[in-house]
Chains A and B, each alone.
Chain A
Amino acid sequence: MTRYLALRLASVIPTLLGVSVLVFGVTYLIPGDPALIIGGTDAPPDAIANIRHQWGLDQPIYVRYAIWLGHVLQGNLGESYFSRQTVLQLVANALPTTAELAALALLVAVAIAIPTALVSAVKPGSWFDLSTAALGFIGLSIPGFWLGIMLIYLFGVQLQVLPAGGFTPVSKGLVANIASMVLPAIALGTFTSTQLMRYLRASLLDVLHADHVRTARAKGLTERAIMIRHALRNALIPFVTVLGVQLGYLLGGTVITESVFALPGMGRLVLSAILNRDYQVATGIILLIATAFVLLNLLVDLLYPILDPRVRLGGAHRP
């Protein structure tokens, strides 16, 4: 168990270092001179040289990387070239929106996936199973931004029951806040729900043919008890891993969803930073999101031994 934890924790470090090199390299390669962007194209040459020196842009790349990494490790992700706000400040303003969006989308996805997968797995091949499979296939292929726009049209423009876009903070009332997040959460969560549903259904069907389920049937347990207590519980173990990976998708998907619904989150922040060549903000956010994703997967792996005692006993075994 300790060995499993230690191995898993240690494996995160090279991945995170690799992410940092990649993210730094990408921003280094972005064309355009940041000094000219900060100073303006008609700034005098000595002013530009000054800016270059001030921002450390005149140093060799590995020095710039080392300085940057040192700052990052101290929690200093730099500041915006334009607004002079620190990246952490910008992120602190944008994070709650994105976190709420991702959490609600995950909630939508799980709320759809678990019941439909359960009912489908009880009777494979039934009309319910076939129609959810077909719906799942449709959900898998729908572009999220198109779904978002169509939802805006239906609920925001035609029926006028939900806001057509924009974000209402919780301070203006919880109901208004949730109302502004319903459509984005559905648009973002649909794809994930189909992935989760298909995966959970398959693992439920696998579990339902396991010996312990046959034993439970032989004992005369009701189908309901078998499904919930014996099948679902086991099927949820691999499900949790998929959940971790899907969270990464959700974090990436927020960029598009926030753009469709005009939500002031991290996705919009990173998109506008890239389009404005605000390097430090862009690197900072991409790094933060990638780190969050790696850590979430770590968390999922650490949950594993709790959910599945076999991992605890088996030491280094990783499914």
Chain B
Amino acid sequence: MRTKSMALIGLLVGVLLAAVALAQSDRQEEGECTDEAPGNRVECAPIALDTFDIPFGLLPGGRVDADGNLDPRSSAEDAHAGAFAVAEELGLMRNFEWLHWLPTIPSERDTETGEWGGGDLDGFPTGWGSTGLGIAGDCLYWGRSNSTNTTGPGETRDVKIFRIQADAEKDAPVEIGMMPQLTTADGATAVRDRELRPYNYTSTDGVERMLMVRAAATGTGGDVITYTVDPETCLPVDDGSTAADVLAHEFYLWHDPDNPNRFVVASQTYGSQEEDLVFTAITDEDTGEVLEVPLFLASFTLEDIGGPVRDELPDETGLYSDGRFTDYSHLTDQWGRPGATQRSQGNDLHSGTLSNDGERFYAAGGTAGMYILNTEMLANRTNAELVGGVACNQRSTNVWVDGDVGRLIEVAKLADVARDCVHPVLNSDPGVVALIASDIPDQQKLVRYTRLEERSRFDFAPPFVAAVGVHSAIPVPNRPALSGDNPDGRPAYVVITEEWPFGPCPERGFRILTVESEITPMMVGAHAMSDSLVENCLEQPVPAGATIRPMMHAHNPTVLTNLVFVNWLGHGIRAIDISNPFNPEEVGHARPVPWGDVMTYPDIHNGLIYVGDNHTGLHVFKYIGPRADEVPQDVTYSSNRSSPH
């Protein structure tokens, strides 16, 4: 009976597969597969428009053998080789060459089962949240976080320091040192190296210098610590200087083009403290040496100047002050998780970019959207002038009656906002300044101002259900605005990404905004994976061997003039042609194996792209697709610090 049933099932499966194969064969002949090279399935993989859909049902979520099949007992050599084999077989690289994979967390073998686990070769989620990667000169820092969520208390993962080799395409980076991971006072919890930004510079006295800024935290916000580094050895020479009262979730490292001694850190606090954004001088502007005590220069808080309040809760019907969110919580994905729903609206500043001239800050304002800050005072005054508080108000003006945020705005105070060292471009717009100074009734002023304020932020939440909202905001370089109202030729476009950590369905993508009118940013183009459609996200298969679902939203982008590399976490790295910002087009993808979180910013060094994956370690790629000539050669380039450098 059993044999008969098996035969019957086998026959049915055979017939079914033959039918599918024939259909597939016919489709090939109709030209849907544009590349019939043996073994190349890239062009035949399911696609949605121009976007590569990872075959999640086939993707290994754990350690593989030499043939690319899941095998927790395989040797390290086989696991390494098999990853490359299966990546090729599944078409996981298009227009990227996967040059090097450096697993940096060792695996441990279970003596009873013989199975390996807990390491990068196993795709183990060692770094549960953000992790830092940074390159300066030929020094590479990989701040592999650990998280007590996966590794347990007491485990530390030190920052690994690598030397990039002269023939970086042929030779993988070589580990040359480490910086100990910090721990909290209880010693049991490692302090994650969320962000690492090294930088080489020559101070005005002619000395070749190097510094490295580290944001170290167990999660949302971290201490900002600046080290002096020996550029020859890549090793720090001191214990670092910590900026007081600053907790950075992310930060931007700005090098003053008019004073090579001057570095400023713009820390985005993302709800970890009262201020949204804190600017700190980390070097002596006269000598270029790292300051023992960093200087507070200025801060900005959106809600203080009349913006949306933080941590807003809805009314009993679910209505927020700016609208109503979609709700997918009644749905369930293949992991058994409910769809996304909105519980509160943080409106916290998540990240951002200072323009190279320092006069603009492009704010990734979370659920408050993307907006632009005027930082001309910060850029064009000295640290000494700013610290003295004479040049401008160091902190945002609180415009609320009696300082009671979220109640009534005191119209007369709006004029003061333009005197804050850091303020929205809206508040120093000549028309707005005139409006506030005019003699029309306050009520009328407030109505007009409120409309303008809301339009000055590109804010898609609501309706899109969003935990973080806008994650990154990077201006597109070398594409100045041509509008007559933007005579200084500031950037015409900004790329933004959207985050939901370990987010439920649907997932979140990438948008391009025009900012030719700086006070009225507007979306012109977008790019998304298929799981931005909730129905696709819900049906997305679970890769065999995966222990958790990595994050899957568009995360950190490195933006060139016509090309963007986006570390899209579980979707790998994506190359997107933005030559027509109204119609961005995916032109390459790279998804290393096993499945993981490609989390860091892509750092470009001498034409190669370095990324960190929280599950699998460090990877080096070469982009060979359209517009590859734009990839900077002979420099380091990243979108989280003044670049190139």
**A and B co-occur in one complex:** no
B residues contacting A by CB (< 8 A) are none
